[in-house]
Amino acid sequence: MKELVKQLAAEQKETLRETRHYLHMHPELSFEEYETSAYIKAKLAELGIPLAEGITGTSVVGIIKGEQDGPVIACRADFDALPVDEENDLPYKSVVPNVMHACGHDTHAATLLSFAEVLVKHPELVRGTVKLVFQAAEEKLPGGAVQLVKDGVMDDVDFGFGFHSAAGVELGKVEIAEIDSAAVGTYEVKIHGKGGHGSNSSNTINPMPIACLVGTALNQLRPEKISPLHGTTVTVAYVHGGTIPNIIPAEAVLGGNIRVLHNEDLEVIISQIEKIARGIVEAWGATCDVDFIRGYPANVNDAKLIDLAKKTVGELGYEIVVPPQNLGAEDFAYYALEKPCVYIHVGGANPADPRTYSPHHSKGFMLDEDMLDIALECELAFYLKATGQA
C-alpha cells in the first residue's frame, strides 16, 4: 500500500500546489465563498464528477460511485478564509485586502480535489461511494456543517474522514486524539436596576456591583459543578455599564465564553449560569435577562476509526502524536454526531523555517507545502484501508 499511495500522491504534486496557490490567492469569507464554490464546481465538472442536489448555500458535494460494492464514505474539506490581512511575502499571497487563508482551509480543499482526481483516474480503486464534501463557513457560527447535515449529506454515509493542517506541528507528525475539539457556547447577562444620582444612591438599584458579584460567582462555577477530569473553562470576558462617575446606570451587562470537552457538560454549565445569575440579581432587588448561544459541539472521534487511522499513518511511515487536549472548536463535530467519523491533524512546520510555526489565524500563518503530499497520502491510504484494499 505504501508504495502505491506515495506514487499516486507524487503524481498530484504539481497540481496540488497549483490548486492550493489559486485558492490562497483568492480567499473568501464565511458564507461569501461564491467564487471559490464556482471554482470547485468547475474542477469537479472537468473530472466528470456529478454534484449532489439540494445543497444549501456555497457548499459543494461531489459524488463518485464505483462499480464495486463498498461503504459510503464522506471526505470533508472546508474552504472559507478569515478577515486577516496577510503579511507573508509569497508569490501566491492573498490578493484580497484583509482576507486571508490564515487557517489552512485552502490546503484542505486542494487536497480533496486531488484525492478526487486520483479516484477518477483510477476507478479500480473506488469501492462503494465517495462523497466529496466541500464545506463552506467553518469559521463563523452557525457554521456550514450543520446545514449540510440538515441537507441530508450524512443520511446514507457509513463513516466520515477529515483532516486539518497544523502549523507548529512538524512535518511527518500526525495528531490523532479521542476528543479532537471542544463544545463551545457564549452567555450574556443583562441586569436591569434603577438608575439615579450618586448623591442619593439609596433610591437606586445599582447594577454594577451586582454584575461584579455575578461575575465573581461564575468564576467559581467550574470547579464546583464539573469533574476535574473534564476539560472545562468558563470566562467572564466583559462587564459594561455606566460612563459618568456620579450617575448610577440603570443597566449593566456581562458575558463570556464556555468551553467543555464533554457535550453534556455544556448544558450543566448553562443551567448553572442562569440559576446563579438570577439568584444574585433577584437577591439585590434587580431583574435580568440571561441569553445563551450554543456553538459547535465537541468533536469526538470514533474509537475504531482512530485505530484505523493510526494503522494507516503508521504504515505510511509517519509519526503518530497524541496531542495535548485543547479547547478549540471545529464544526466537523456535527458530522461525528450523525455517523462514526475521524478527524486528524497533519503537521506543516519545518524546523528550518521559523515562519511555519506562526499560529493559526495570524497574519504570518504559513505552512510548509510538503504537508500537502502527506495529507493526500493519509487520505488515500485511509480510504484504501477503509475499503479493504490494504
Domain 183-294 belongs in CATH node 2.40.50.140: no
**Residue 51 to residues 28, 55, 133, 280, Cα–Cα distance (Å):** 22, 9, 10, 55
Which cell numbers hold the place of 232? 472545562
Instruction: Provide the residue ranges of all domains of the chain, joining segments of one domain with +.
Output: 2-180+298-386, 183-294
How far is residue 185's CA from residue 166's CA, in Å, rounded to a whole number?
24
Q: Which three cell numbers stand for residue 325?
A: 487536549
Q: What pLDDT, on a 0 to 100 scale, did the predictor assign at position 140?
A: 96
286, 193 Cβ separation under 8 angstroms: yes
Q: What pLDDT, on a 0 to 100 scale, did the predictor assign at position 219? A: 86
Q: What pTM was computed for the model?
A: 0.94
The residues annotated with a catalytic role in the active site are: 296, 369
Top CATH class, 2-180+298-386: alpha beta
Give pLDDT, residue 227: 82
Q: What is the pLDDT of residue 221?
A: 83
pLDDT at 234: 93
pLDDT tens track, the chain, 390 positions: 899 999 999 999 999 999 999 999 999 999 999 999 999 999 999 999 999 999 999 999 999 999 999 999 999 999 999 999 999 999 999 999 999 999 999 999 999 999 999 999 999 999 999 999 999 999 999 999 999 999 999 999 999 999 999 999 999 999 999 999 999 999 999 999 999 999 999 999 999 999 999 999 998 887 677 888 888 899 999 999 999 999 999 999 999 999 999 999 999 999 999 999 999 999 999 999 999 999 999 999 999 999 999 999 999 999 999 998 889 999 999 999 999 999 999 999 999 999 999 999 999 999 999 999 999 999 999 999 999 998
Alpha-carbon distance of 341 to 331, in angstroms, equals 12
Question: What is the predicted pLDDT for the residue at 223?
Answer: 67
CA-based nearest residue to 356, from 178, 173, 135, 176 = 173
Strand duo 183-192 + 251-260: pairing: antiparallel
